[in-house]
Structure 1
Amino acid sequence: MTILTVPTVDLAVDQQPRRNFARDVRIVMARELKPVLRDPFSLLFGMIQPLVFLGLFGPLLSGSMGGSLGGNVWQWFVPAILVMTTLFGTSTTGANLLFEFQTGAHERMLVTPLSRSSLLIGRALKEMVPLFGQAIIVIAVMTPFAFDLHVGGALVGLALLAVFGVGLGSFSYALAIAVRKQDWMFWMVQQTFLFPLMILSGMLLPLESGPGWMKVAAKFNPLSYVVDAERTLFSGDVFSSPVLWGGIAAVVTAVLGLTVGIRAMLRSAD
């Protein structure tokens, strides 16, 4: 009896490529940067805004409180302006997500193999690119005006702002997801929290002369620790307690923001 032998063929099973988190973040960041690079006017206008604020508010601060700030107002004020631009830039990133809800772009992104955390981090880091450009311009312009630049501290300070910006941008995206059916609520909530955070951080005016309740409230404001850390870093002191507390505040903000943002994004996909 003849036995028919059928040769076995090993079928290669297509395997999906492993997820690379850094690659996912880079893809999302590049996608978000394309519209910005196509509109250089808005990018340049955003870079000029901090200089306008320095030119209008800085002289008033120098004339009224120069003595109480140790004489060099710019060393105190320039780092605060960099924090302010980060605060304004990353806290409004949710507005872009609201537009994507209207066009359906967000739903298309959710069906891609990109990780949910990369969608948040890539978008938040995209906001840091023009902010870094603003920082370079501000530092370059203010250096001739008695602003003492310490390169090492400045680099650490910008890295700290990036970490803080990722957390704040993630909170902004979570807010946009929560109010996507009533998008006008986004700006109401954002403005309600933005200005108290600014005032209670000592960003624009020192809190030493303020009432006691403001000083107590400032201790619960993570932004106040970031502002103190930036002023310390830009003065050249990298290893000090304000830098440590500022780093802790930035990391905690990033962890909480990503946790809330990723959960909100997962619920929006259901």
Structure 2
Amino acid sequence: MRAFEIMVYRQIKRFLRARSRVAGMIINPLVWLTFFGIGWSRAFRDPSIFGGVDYLTYLSPGIFAMTVFNQSFVSGISVIWDREFGFLKEVLVAPASRKETIAGRIFGDSAVATLQGAIILALTFFIARINIFGVIPALGVGFVLAVAFSSFGVSIAARMRSMEGFQMIMALVMLPLIFLSGAIYPIAFMPAWMKVLALLNPLTYAVESSRVLLTGVSGIFPLDQSLLILLSLTALMLYVAMVSFERSTVE
């Protein structure tokens, strides 16, 4: 467990030292809430569309999940960065389990992403009607989501050698996953083929669970089913990441 603890500590410390990253993770979700949420909330004045709540309240859990998703997925870039500057080589030759090492890295990045989500969630109390008793469970959902997409990012990055290539994949994957998650508008409004894709998206179940906990608005699945699906997908993605990293090499 020593390697696991060291990697968790390293990822948290790296984040806290990167002031521009801390500022960016606060500003970006606030831009969405301000220019997207407030603007569209004026257009959607019928609360029945969003389960009986105003659009800003409906959107807030989605922004929380988006924040965690974005930061955790982006953390996969640092695997390529470490390969470029030699740290990955030191990790791979260290007398420690590779699976344990990358699991520590993933959990460290997930803790950072969840912290970012918590900050954004705290700020939404000023503009949305959030259930305070659902905050702690929602943060738990956020952490599971972060583990899922940190693992996903690591699985991709472990097979790549180019940071530019990873960024291209990010641009290709991130926005579709967000729009297919129900974070911005209800899945019920989607055409049938989009609904099928939404059901394959792990982010969907995190958004739905967070929305139930924070606003009481029910989703397409009961809360317990959404959580079970999210946990199952997360366990699978973590396993794939650990195996992918174990097989990776440094050229």
| Distance in 1 (alpha carbons) for counterparts of 2:108 and 2:79 | 13
| Distance in 2 (alpha carbons) for counterparts of 1:251 and 1:54 | 28
Q: Who is 2:37 aligned against?
A: 58
Aligned mate of 1:126, from 108, 117, 120:
108
Q: What do residues 165-205 of structure 1 show as CA deviations (whole Å, max 9, x unaligned)? A: 1121112112111112x443212222222222111111112
Indicate conservation of the 8 Å contact 2:15/2:22, yes or no: yes
Q: Who is 1:208 aligned against?
A: 188
Q: What do residues 37-59 of structure 1 show as CA deviations (whole Å, max 9, x unaligned)? A: 22324213322221221111111
Secondary structure (helix, strand or coil) at the match of 1:144 reads coil
Instruction: State the aligned residue count.
Output: 246
Structure 2 unaligned residues grouped into runs of 5+: none
1:171 counterpart = 2:123? no
- 1:78-157 maps to which residues of 2 (within 5 A)? 78-151=60-133, 153-157=134-138
Indicate conservation of the 8 Å contact 1:28/1:118, yes or no: no
Secondary structure (helix, strand or coil) at the match of 1:192 reads helix
Q: TM-score, normalised on structure 2?
A: 0.87
| Matched-pair identity in % | 28
* RMSD of equivalent CA atoms: 2.4
Letter in 2 for 1:34: K
Structure 1 unaligned residues grouped into runs of 5+: 1-19
Distance 1:132 1:87, change over 3 A: closer
1:229 counterpart = 2:209? yes
Q: Which moved more, 1:194-203 or 1:81-90?
A: 194-203
Secondary structure (helix, strand or coil) at the match of 1:205 reads coil
Runs of at least 4 residues off by over 6 Å: none
| Distance in 2 (alpha carbons) for counterparts of 1:175 and 1:248 | 25
Q: Who is 1:194 aligned against?
A: 174
Q: What do residues 220-251 of structure 1 show as CA deviations (whole Å, max 9, x unaligned)? A: 2222122111100113699x953222222321
Q: TM-score, normalised on structure 1?
A: 0.81
| Distance in 1 (alpha carbons) for counterparts of 2:159 and 2:93 | 20
Q: In terms of Rg, which structure is larger?
A: 1
Indicate conservation of the 8 Å contact 2:103/2:242, yes or no: no
Distance 1:115 1:159, change over 3 A: farther
Higher helix share: 2
